[in-house]
C-alpha cells in the first residue's frame, strides 16, 4: 500500500501556500497553479497521447510543476492529481487504462513526491471534480451530493454524510456503468445497456444518428462526424432531431440518477462536462423525467443542477483540493 510520506500535514501551513492541480485526460494533461483563494493563476499543458512510457510522462509533469513554481516564484504546499483509473490508496494509475497509451501501472504519487518533495494525492477524475464542487462550487456546505461528469464516458463522485465515498477497491461511483437495458447498446466495459452508452457525448451522437437514419428530413446535416457539441448547437437553434436527441438523453439520464438517489439519499445532483453546455434542451426534460422516476419518499428533497464552475478549472481545482482527503 502507498503511504503518503508526509505524515503530519499542517493544514494551516498548507493552505497558506500555492497548490498544484493536475488533470490527466485522454487527450491533454493540464497542470494548474492554484492560489489560496482557489483561483487557477497559471497552467501548462502536455499532450497525453504522445506518451507511451509512464516514468517519462510523470517526469515531464514534475518539470512543468517546477517551471510554474519558478516562473511565479512561489512555494508549493501540495500536489493533487485527478486521473482515470486512479487508485487513491496505492497512489498509482492502474495498468491498462482505456484512454491512455501508457499501459503499465504508473506510481505517480511516489515519483512526484520524490522529485518535488511535497505531499501528493491521486484520485479518480470524477472524485476530484466532486471535491472541487465541495470546496469551491455549489456543493459548499453540502454533505450529501452526487457529482456526475458527462464526457467521453460518464463518471461520478459521491459524498455521503460529509465524506467522499471510495469503496472497497476505490472504485465506488461508476455510475456510467449502471445497467439500464441488459439488451441495449454495447458498452466499452464489455456489457450492454450501460448508462454511458446513452448519455455520454458518444451516446448522444449515436442517438442523433439513429434518429437521423429514421428521418427523411435532416436538412442536409452531415451526421458522419457530428459531435455532441454540434448537436447541442442545433438543439439551441430549434432543430427538432437535436431536441429529440436531448429529450431521449434526458430520459435515460433521469432514470439512472433517480436510481442513484436510492443508494445515497443526496441533497443535490450536480452535472458537469461538455454535453451540459447545451443548457435548457437537456436540463428541462431532465428535471421532468427525474421527477417522474424518483421514488416518492425522496420527493422535493433532491435537486438537479449544472455546475457553475468553469469546466477546465473545475478539474484542476478539484485535483488541487485532493490533499484534504488525506486529513
Ligand atoms: Zn459499461
CA of 154 to the centre of ligand 1 (A): 10
Are 242 and 265 within one domain? yes
As a residue count, the chain comes to 327
Give strand pairing partners of 32. Answer: 21, 43
Is residue 1 included in any domain, yes or no? no
214-218: which pairs have CB atoms within 8 A and are 24 or more residues apart?
Answer: 215/241
Distance 184 CA to ligand 1 centre (A): 11
d(C-alpha 227, C-alpha 214), whole Å: 19
CA 76 – ligand 1 centroid, Å: 38
Position 29 confidence tier, pLDDT thresholds 50, 70, 90: very high
Interior/surface letters 30-66, b for 16+ CB within 10 angstroms, e for the rest: bbbbbeeebebebbbebebeebeebeebbebbbebbe
pLDDT bin (cut points 50, 70, 90) of residue 171 is: confident
106 and 151 in one domain? Answer: no
Find the 192 Cα to ligand 1 centroid distance in Å: 7
Per-residue buried b or exposed e for 212-228, using 16+ beta carbons within 10 Å of the residue's own CB? beeeeebeeeebeebeb
- 300 in the same domain as 254: yes
Tell me the CA–centroid distance for residue 20 and ligand 1, in Å. Answer: 32
Do residues 260 and 162 both lie within one domain?
A: yes
pLDDT at 314 over 90: no
For residues 176-199, average pLDDT: 94
d(CA 198, CA 206): 8
Q: Average the pLDDT over 177-186 and give the result.
A: 95
User: Do 70 and 213 share a domain, yes or no?
Assistant: no
3-state helix, strand, coil in the chain (%, to 5): 45, 20, 35
Whole-number Å distance, alpha carbon 45 to ligand 1 midpoint, is 30
* pLDDT for residue 11: 42
pLDDT at position 56? 97
Tell how far the Cα of 177 is from the centroid of ligand 1, in angstroms.
Answer: 4
190 CA to centre of ligand 1 in angstroms: 7
3 in a domain, yes or no? Answer: no
Domain ranges, residue 174: 141-307
Ligand 1 mean position, distance from CA 277 (Å): 24
pLDDT tens profile 41-65: 999 999 998 999 999 999 999 999 9
Residue found under cell 435537486: 303
- Ligand 1: distance of its center to the CA of 69 in Å? 40
Handedness of CA 88, 92, 97, 102 (dihedral sign): positive
Q: Are residues 88 and 227 part of one domain?
A: no
Number of structural domains found in the chain: 2
Residue 103, Cβ neighbours under 10 Å: how many?
A: 11
Does residue 218 carry a pLDDT above 70? Answer: no
**277 shares a domain with 193:** yes
Whether 100 is covered by a domain: the verdict is yes
pLDDT band at 2 (very low <50, low <70, confident <90, very high): very low
**Where does the pLDDT of residue 13 fall: very low under 50, low under 70, confident under 90, or very high at 90 and above?**
very low
pLDDT at 237 over 80: yes
Q: At 72, which CATH number?
A: 3.30.420.40
Residues 144/266, Cβ–Cβ less than 8 Å: yes
pTM for the full model? Answer: 0.83
CB atoms within 10 A of CB 155: 26
Return the ∠ at Cα 206 (arms to 200 and 209), rounded to 5°.
145
Answer yes or no: is 4 within a domain. Answer: no
The CA-to-CA distance between both ends of the chain, in Å, stands at 17
Cα–Cα distance for residue pair 154/144, rounded to 1 Å: 20
The answer to whether residue 244 is domain-embedded is yes
Across all residues in the chain, what is the average pLDDT?
90
Residue 115 within any structural domain of the chain = yes
Are residues 251 and 194 both part of a single domain? yes
Q: 320 and 280: one domain?
A: no
Q: What is the pLDDT of residues 99-151, one digit of tens each?
A: 688 999 999 999 999 999 999 999 988 888 898 898 888 899 899 999 999 98
- Evaluate if residue 10 carries a pLDDT over 60: no
SS (H, E, C) 122-176: EEEHHHHHHHHHHHHCCCCCCCCEEEEEECCCEEEEEEECCEECCCCCCCCCCHH
| 2 domain-assigned | no
User: And the C-alpha cell for 24?
Assistant: 490527466
120-124 and 145-150: which strand pairing?
A: unpaired
- pLDDT for 226 beyond 70: yes
Distances, alpha carbon 320 to alpha carbons 81, 82, 212, in Å: 7, 9, 42
For residue 197, what pLDDT band results from cuts at 50, 70 and 90?
very high
Indicate the pLDDT class of residue 214, thresholds 50, 70 and 90: confident
pLDDT of residue 3: 43
Answer whether residue 309 shows pLDDT above 70. Answer: yes
In this prediction, residue 16 carries a pLDDT of 64
26 with 91, same domain? yes
5 falls within a domain: no
Cβ 18 vs Cβ 74: under 8 Å: yes
CA distance 147 to 154: 11
Amino acid at each position: 500500500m502507498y503511504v503518503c510520506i508526509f505524515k503530519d500535514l499542517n493544514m494551516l501551513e498548507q493552505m497558506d501556500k500555492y497548490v498544484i492541480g493536475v488533470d490527466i485526460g485522454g487527450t491533454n494533461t493540464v497542470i494548474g497553479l492554484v492560489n489560496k483563494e482557489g483561483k487557477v493563476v497559471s497552467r501548462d499543458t502536455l499532450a497525453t497521447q504522445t506518451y507511451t512510457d509512464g516514468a517519462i510522462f510523470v517526469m515531464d509533469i514534475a518539470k512543468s510543476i517546477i517551471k510554474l513554481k519558478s516562473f511565479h516564484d512561489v512555494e508549493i504546499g501540495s500536489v493533487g492529481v485527478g486521473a482515470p483509473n486512479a487508485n487513491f490508496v496505492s497512489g498509482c494509475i492502474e495498468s491498462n487504462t482505456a484512454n491512455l497509451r501508457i499501459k503499465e501501472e504508473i506510481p505517480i504519487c511516489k515519483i512526484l513526491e520524490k522529485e518535488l518533495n511535497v505531499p501528493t494525492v491521486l484520485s479518480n477524475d470524477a472524485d476530484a471534480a466532486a471535491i472541487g464542487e465541495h470546496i469551491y462550487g455549489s456543493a459548499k456546505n453540502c454533505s450529501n451530493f452526487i457529482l456526475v461528469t458527462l464526457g467521453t464516458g460518464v463518471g461520478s463522485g459521491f459524498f455521503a454524510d460529509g465524506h467522499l465515498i471510495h469503496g472497497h477497491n476505490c472504485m465506488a461511483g461508476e455510475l456510467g456503468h449502471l445497467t439500464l437495458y441488459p439488451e441495449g447498446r454495447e458498452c466499452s466495459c464489455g456489457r450492454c445497456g450501460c448508462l454511458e452508452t446513452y448519455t455520454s457525448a458518444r451516446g448522444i451522437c449515436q442517438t442523433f444518428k439513429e434518429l437521423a437514419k429514421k428521418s427523411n428530413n435532416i436538412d442536409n446535416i452531415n451526421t458522419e462526424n457530428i459531435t455532441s457539441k454540434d448537436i447541442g448547437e442545433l438543439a439551441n437553434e430549434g432543430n427538432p432531431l437535436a431536441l429529440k436527441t436531448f429529450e431521449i438523453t434526458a430520459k435515460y439520464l433521469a432514470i439512472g440518477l433517480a436510481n442513484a438517489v436510492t443508494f445515497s439519499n443526496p441533497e443535490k445532483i450536480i452535472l458537469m462536462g461538455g454535453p451540459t453546455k447545451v443548457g435548457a434542451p437537456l436540463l428541462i426534460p431532465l428535471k421532468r423525467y427525474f421527477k417522474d422516476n424518483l421514488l416518492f419518499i425522496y420527493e422535493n428533497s433532491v435537486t438537479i443542477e449544472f455546475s457553475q464552475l468553469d469546466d477546465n478549472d473545475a478539474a484542476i481545482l478539484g485535483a488541487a483540493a485532493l490533499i484534504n482527503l488525506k486529513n
